[in-house]
């Protein structure tokens, strides 16, 4: 299964706002090259990145009077994809009606969201990251590309049993095991797993966040079409929510646009923890991305990925169903499974 | 469209004469590897570069008594492709009748021309470069490989509007624009565009060649099957003709074999200008080659190149027609279009 | 023709015994990735190198209590391919019945032999290298990968005429030629060529082994499914047998597992010659491997390898027949051809 099965009529993140300055930038979405640029009012546009004339990438040109200019012959296109100049054409002649595909764009909270299909005016809004306006939370945004599908990145992000092996020492250790109960709840557009009886993670991050130990409240969530969310709470005041929007860049390439929001029961500003926690988080993420790339490349010798699952793969089947558009006809979350894990 | 559509029954350049010394050299033509070598009289031969025995490339062997020797078992072949020795075969046994394909070769004016199909004795002659025997002209030969088709390289070489953008500052600038009239004339085996009212190009080359400015006489020509020619004349004495033979090395790879002939109304030998002009010409050519490579690679994400044209693409449709063998039934050139450009 | 035609129900060498220590190692056989590892008793196992769960390569994990452990979620498998642990699974639940393919393994004489098909208990034994228990012989084992098929590597190893060209100066020279008679004998599972009247090879190896010159006894043999053997004898006491087992790693990749056994009529221990002879042998082998790679890559431009042969290719047709399983119905060797060579 590739990202070709991920829903197209949805909003996806293609860049952080501050990545898009005066020069255009190149991205792909569902394998199609796009060019992002800003018009004279600073509003972002997203066009199919191909000049209709001789197919040069517009993203390798510049922005001139709010329109992106082709690097080959200087044709210019506005954010709606309309051709606004063909240099050399005599002033007496009408401009050709050539147009390039244009995607709806919404910029919000530091992110540039692009709608998955061109030429449509969507009647939905992008997902809202949590705690955006809550001053008690420190928020850390980050983007990174993964060699893997939305499905595989999401399952990996929301999977508990691999942490003791792939992230040995960093997150959990395989040494001490505990009985945990997992309650799986399914809603119309989402699925969540609640972990009950889980002690503070025994790795370095757990020890930093909760030196005194204790039991945590832990949720893993997948929200259609492509959002993975991990939530940890320890007592009333320590709270961490990592939300990742997964954008299908190409058939087996996914952009992870993450925002980690957290608060801690400490006197110092929580932002002082960022330089300590971020390298560890990136190390864990790096191990995950290498593994996702490895299994995909390795599977080529066997004709592609083919999985066998156990009850420990609590969210995978639900992610598959949600990506296939199989909604549950229910506004609220309902329990669908209860599993005992020994991790 | 690839070079598979370029006519095969024609002469193409595969090397400069001085590139072929005692060792054989490897080239491709229409995607087929060829080996070029010289016999004992110094006459060049061109064979399909594969030993029939175990398929080793003959071009990796040496030349022994005028025949190219396979590096694996030492089989030798003459310029007609006949096997002249199989080492180890007992003198009492007849040589096997194995032959490798042989292409007709003509060496002239410092170039090695090879006919496009093997096993034929062509009844045509290669193209004659202009001013070969005119002592007033300095001639500069050069070869370079392009990632692109004969069609795309030719159109690029003969295209005016891109110069102000892709070669900004070097050739033309987009700043000052002029009204120019373009007359397109079509003949049996060729098409030419004459630019009327064109001021001296405003870039560095124009300023070097004609410091005093003035109006130029400018022709762009495509001559079937694969020759592009640009001619500039300024007054009676300044004259430059750049002729390029385009050889289809492979489906999307083309050899540019160029000869620039020029004379100037100066007292010093015109050859002193070569070290000044050549680096600039190569810089312009480099920009063109990078763009041709870029559009070809970029188009892969869209299922291949697909062009939209305006009347400014004055020669492209005629190049297509000439490459498809659509001759016009006329010995002399006849006007087929008149366009106003604002460049 | 690729290695897909090489018989699968046979024993092949995948590693030297001392290459397999505590960590698992990765190999391929007929293009399928395998993992080799040792159980708690030191016995080697060979499994298909893919965890059924999420397809991670087991070879990138470790060995834990005699079972190979998946690096992603820690699932463990014994040498029979049985899943022996799924970490996280509650002790009250039965282990899943997931199994990975397991190949029979026999370790003997310093080599790890693996049967070509998984899930079978072979009723044959691996080939026995000669002189394993003979103290008069110095034995030198070596492995190296070739880009080429079993057929092409075998033919190259057993081919005489190329030595004067590809190995010019190292083995034979093309300068002096001799009439040699070659007798080809065919048996049920093998073919051999005996060279009669051959002088001591004129290159550096010949001069080292037999400074006084003389006539040699020389056999080249191919033994089904994939063993090539070269034997030289000079007088009663100088004797060299180079035996190579050719393992089809992938369609066009072959492992050469060689053992050279030799004795010499000298007072010093023959092992002192190893540091002198080995670099020369590796240089010759390197020339052969580069040529096999070259012809395979070069043939792609021509739609694949296509050979033309003469009577000098004495063993090639018989190797083809033996690899196709065309047995001769005879227990003993019978003469099938007699050829005169002038090498």
Task: List the C83-85 sheet strands across, edge first.
Answer: C62-64, C67-69, C76-77, C83-85
Q: Same domain, yes or no, for C148 and C262? A: yes
Q: Same domain, yes or no, for C323 and C270? A: yes
* Whole-number average pLDDT of chain A: 93
Q: Same domain, yes or no, for A225 and A277? A: yes
CATH number at residue C315: 3.90.380.10
In this complex, the residue of A165, A299, A343 whose CB is nearest that of residue C72 is A165
- Our CA dihedral for A264, A269, A275, A281, rounded to 10 degrees, sits at 20
Chain A residues with CB under 8 Å of B298 CB are 33, 49-50, 55-57
Q: What band does B175 get if pLDDT is binned at 50, 70 and 90?
A: low
Q: What band does B121 get if pLDDT is binned at 50, 70 and 90?
A: very high
Is residue A221 scored above 60 in pLDDT?
Answer: yes
Summarised one tens digit per residue, pLDDT across range A108-124 is 999 999 999 999 999 99
Q: Residue B327's pLDDT is what?
A: 67
> Is ipTM beyond 0.90?
yes
Q: What band does A328 get if pLDDT is binned at 50, 70 and 90?
A: low
Q: What percent of chain B has pLDDT over 90?
A: 81
Is residue B115 scored above 90 in pLDDT?
Answer: yes
Is residue C92 scored above 80 in pLDDT?
Answer: yes
- C partners (3+ CB pairs within 8 A) are A, B
Q: Do A53 and B341 touch (CB under 8 A)?
A: no
Q: Does A27 or B235 have the greater pLDDT score?
A: A27
CA angle C208, C229, C281 (to 5 degrees): 35
Asked, for residue A127, whether it belongs to a domain, the answer is no
Q: Residue B173's pLDDT is what?
A: 61
Distance, CA of B102 to CA of B105 (rounded, Å)? 9
Report in angstroms the alpha-carbon separations of B229 from B256, C147, C272: 12, 46, 70
Q: What band does A172 get if pLDDT is binned at 50, 70 and 90?
A: low
In 3D space, the residue among C324, C227, C277 whose CA is nearest the CA of residue C12 turns out to be C227
Distance, CA of B217 to CA of B236 (rounded, Å)? 10
Measured between CA atoms, the residue of chain C closest to residue A308 is C53
Kindly report the number of other CB atoms within 10 A of residue B103's CB atom: 25
- What residue numbers bound the domain in which B220 lies? 138-342
Q: Same domain, yes or no, for C151 and C110? A: no
Q: Same domain, yes or no, for A150 and A106? A: no
Asked, for residue C69, whether it belongs to a domain, the answer is yes
How crowded is the C-beta side of B40, counted as CA atoms within 13 Å? 6
In 3D space, the residue among C203, C260, C213 whose CA is nearest the CA of residue C234 turns out to be C213
Instruction: List the structure tokens of B125.
Output: 């002659």
Task: List the A111-115 sheet strands across, edge first.
Answer: A11-16, A111-115, A105-108
Q: Are C154 and C5 in contact (CB under 8 A)?
A: no
CATH number at residue B57: 2.102.10.10
Task: List the A32-38 sheet strands across, edge first.
Answer: A25-29, A32-38, A44-48, A102-103
Lowest mean pLDDT across A35-44, A166-175, B97-106: A166-175
Is residue B81 scored above 80 in pLDDT?
Answer: yes
Kindly report the number of other CB atoms within 10 A of residue B329's CB atom: 5
Q: Same domain, yes or no, for A28 and A72? A: yes
Work out the average pLDDT over B308-332.
87
Q: What percent of chain A has pLDDT over 70?
A: 95
* Whole-number average pLDDT of chain C: 93
Q: Are A3 and A254 in contact (CB under 8 A)?
A: yes
Q: Same domain, yes or no, for C41 and C82? A: yes
- B partners (3+ CB pairs within 8 A) are A, C
Q: What band does C131 get if pLDDT is binned at 50, 70 and 90?
A: very high
Q: Same domain, yes or no, for C155 and C42? A: no
pTM: 0.93
Asked, for residue C126, whether it belongs to a domain, the answer is no
Q: Same domain, yes or no, for A99 and A143? A: no
Task: List the B32-38 sheet strands across, edge first.
Answer: B25-29, B32-38, B44-48, B102-103
Asked, for residue C306, whether it belongs to a domain, the answer is yes
Q: Residue A175's pLDDT is what?
A: 66
Q: Residue C174's pLDDT is what?
A: 56
* Whole-number average pLDDT of chain B: 93
Work out the average pLDDT over C22-32.
98
Measured between CA atoms, the residue of chain C closest to residue A295 is C56
For B212, residues 6+ apart whose C-beta sits below 8 A from its C-beta are: none
Lowest mean pLDDT across A73-87, B16-30, B142-156, B209-223: B209-223
Is residue C214 scored above 80 in pLDDT?
Answer: no
Asked, for residue B132, whether it belongs to a domain, the answer is no
Asked, for residue A237, whether it belongs to a domain, the answer is yes
Interface with B, mutate which of C299, C310, C337 (most B CBs under 10 A): C310
Q: Same domain, yes or no, for B84 and B165? A: no
Cα of C204 to nearest chain A Cα, Å: 44
Is residue A170 scored above 80 in pLDDT?
Answer: no
In this complex, the residue of B174, B306, B341 whose CB is nearest that of residue A55 is B306
Q: What band does C173 get if pLDDT is binned at 50, 70 and 90?
A: low
In this complex, the residue of B164, B291, B298 whose CB is nearest that of residue A50 is B298
Summarised one tens digit per residue, pLDDT across range C235-288 is 878 899 999 999 999 999 999 999 999 998 888 888 888 898 899 999 999 999
Is residue A11 scored above 60 in pLDDT?
Answer: yes
Summarised one tens digit per residue, pLDDT across range A181-193 is 999 999 999 999 9
Chain C residues with CB under 8 Å of B28 CB are 301
Q: Residue A1's pLDDT is what?
A: 80
Summarised one tens digit per residue, pLDDT across range A197-206 is 888 777 777 7
Interface with B, mutate which of C157, C160, C165 (most B CBs under 10 A): C165
Work out the average pLDDT over B279-298.
96
C-alpha A54, offset from chain centre: 34
Structural domains of chain C, count? 2
Asked, for residue C220, whether it belongs to a domain, the answer is yes
Chain A residues with CB under 8 Å of B179 CB are 90
Q: What percent of chain B has pLDDT over 70?
A: 96
Chain B residues with CB under 8 Å of C301 CB are 28, 31-33
Q: Residue C265's pLDDT is what?
A: 83
Q: Same domain, yes or no, for B221 and B330? A: yes
Chain B residues with CB under 8 Å of A94 CB are none
Cα of C174 to nearest chain A Cα, Å: 45
Q: Residue C328's pLDDT is what?
A: 65
Is residue A174 scored above 70 in pLDDT?
Answer: no
Asked, for residue B241, whether it belongs to a domain, the answer is yes
Cis amide linkage into residue A225, ω under 30° from 0: yes
Measured between CA atoms, the residue of chain B closest to residue C179 is B90
Lowest mean pLDDT across A70-74, A242-246, C186-190: C186-190
Summarised one tens digit per residue, pLDDT across range A156-169 is 999 999 999 999 87
Summarised one tens digit per residue, pLDDT across range A72-106 is 999 999 999 999 999 999 999 999 999 999 999 99
Is residue A268 scored above 90 in pLDDT?
Answer: no
Work out the average pLDDT over C2-8.
94
Q: Same domain, yes or no, for B202 and B87? A: no
């Amino acid at each position: 299964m590739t990202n070709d099965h991920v829903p197209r009529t949805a909003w996806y993140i293609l860049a952080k706002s501050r990545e898009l300055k005066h020069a255009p930038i190149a991205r792909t979405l569902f394998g199609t090259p796009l060019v992002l640029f800003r018009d004279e009012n600073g509003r972002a546009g997203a066009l199919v990145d191909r000049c209709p004339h001789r197919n040069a990438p517009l993203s390798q040109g510049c922005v001139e009077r709010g329109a992106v200019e082709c690097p080959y012959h200087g044709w210019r296109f506005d954010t709606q994809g309309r051709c606004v100049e063909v240099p050399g054409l005599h002033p007496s002649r009408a401009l050709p009606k050539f147009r390039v595909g244009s995607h709806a764009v919404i910029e919000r909270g530091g992110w540039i969201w692009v709608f998955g299909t061109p030429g449509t005016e969507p009647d939905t809004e992008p997902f809202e990251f949590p705690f955006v306006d809550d001053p008690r939370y420190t928020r850390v945004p980050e983007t990174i590309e993964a060699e893997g599908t939305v499905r595989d990145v999401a399952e990996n992000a929301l999977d508990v049993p691999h942490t003791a092996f792939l992230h040995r020492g960093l997150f959990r250790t395989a040494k001490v095991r505990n009985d945990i109960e997992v309650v799986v709840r399914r809603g119309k557009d989402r699925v969540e797993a609640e972990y009950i009886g889980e002690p503070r993670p025994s790795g370095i991050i757990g020890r930093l966040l909760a030196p005194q130990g204790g039991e945590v409240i832990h949720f893993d969530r997948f929200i259609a079409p492509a959002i993975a969310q991990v939530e940890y709470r320890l007592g009333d005041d320590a709270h961490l929510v990592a939300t990742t929007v997964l954008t299908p860049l190409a058939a087996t390439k996914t952009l992870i646009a993450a925002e980690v929001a957290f608060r801690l029961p400490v006197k110092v500003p929580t932002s002082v923890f960022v330089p300590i926690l971020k390298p560890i988080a990136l190390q864990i993420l790096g191990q995950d991305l290498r593994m996702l790339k490895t299994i995909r490349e390795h599977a080529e010798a066997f004709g592609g990925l083919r999985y066998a699952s156990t009850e420990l793969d609590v969210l995978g089947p639900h992610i598959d169903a949600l990506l296939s558009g199989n909604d549950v006809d229910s506004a609220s979350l309902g329990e669908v499974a209860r599993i005992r894990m020994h991790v």
